[in-house]
Chain A
């Protein structure tokens, strides 16, 4: 069946691609939470990462490496310990969640801590499950650690590499997985689940100080609510569906569903 492809891949020009960044053909998957280093770059949490920022799913290299970049020379930033990668505070049992952009037959998923194999999940060359996550017991590795998570592909010689910086069994931090450990005495005051949508990168949730007649100027990274009014190119618009603004979602003919001209 795989032969009967509507578009021969050669026609897509995948081979001699003129991409500035590495070819997207190399892009397949990464650990999204707790965030791997490439996920932190893609989220903008860590700045100036270079090309990996746009393709966290691309850290592909031959199997057998123990480096954060798997030995892929395009992404040496991932090995740079001087970047002081933020460590996520987690309990001793950690659930690793993966994002896949292509579903490859899989030999195994392996988690190393300080070069020691902490867990292996054999997929026996199957196509990955729809939702890929693994819960790993890391109680043997307390404190600040870097976990190397490796996706070994079944039908190629390559693997995908992720370094995930963790503070294992740490206290005081909020993590998705450590809910039960915190004593319930101070429960009522903290409302941990409903953080206000900490508006994205450039997020200067502008209080309407520069209030133009019809509302403040549209900007990316702002959390807009239904009914909010902005101006853009001298025209006023009313928000029709709450959202956090992003590039290309500015008021225009292409976003009439979000912004109604007034």
Chain B
């Protein structure tokens, strides 16, 4: 991988396309490197999503253990697995760029007009304490809000990001969360 990265450095003149995740492909997401062309938006997106996703993983873990409905528990478990790998990858990319993997303060894209994020510690705590009979509805509604917010963050990256792999990742975030939203709405009302 070092050779690949070096090659890329040599060929990177700002506008050159980022390398494909090469054919001599990495065997795990942890080995995927982002490449050295990036801007502030890429960093911001990854930092925001790392924080957001850590909350999401907390929620998914509660969902996986408390949901009585198999379909809801399966979704929570699948999210847990995929997002755990994504989290590792995002942190690696930030580290690769020499950037912190944490944010100073959690922000909402609505903060300019006083909106708190959809997910705070209070929401996560409520999932632990809500009655069993109300758990599925509570989990689905809170996780819907959470994944809608991830789509919004991904769109920020797609608008102004520079790093090709980060933009590809943002597209996957947008698609997967949008489809999860669809699934969750069906689970709520099916």
Contacts and interface: CB of A to CB of B under 8 A. Distances in A.
A binds B: yes
Interface of A: 2, 4-7, 9, 11-14, 17-19, 24-25, 27-29, 32-35, 39, 42-45, 54-55, 57, 88, 97-105, 127, 130-133, 155-156, 176, 193, 195, 197-198, 200-201, 220, 240-244, 246-249, 253-258
A44 B182 contact: yes
B88 to A, nearest CB: 11
Given A102-B115, A131-B130, A258-B82, A200 B109 contact: no
B141 interface: yes
B112 A102 contact: no
A14 B159 CA distance: 10
Contacts of A127: 116
The A interface is mostly helix, strand or loop, or mixed, namely loop
B148 A254 contact: no
B74 interface: yes
A243 B21 CA distance: 26
B28 A253 contact: yes
A195 B190 contact: yes
Interface of B: 21, 25-29, 32, 40, 44, 47-48, 69-71, 74-75, 77-78, 81-82, 84-86, 89, 103-105, 107-118, 120, 122-123, 125-126, 130, 134, 137-138, 140-142, 144-145, 148-149, 151-152, 155-156, 159-160, 171-172, 175-176, 178-183, 185-186, 188-190
Contacts of A99: 141, 144-145, 148
A200 B103 CA distance: 36
B185 A258 contact: no
A105 to B, nearest CB: 7
B109 A24 contact: yes
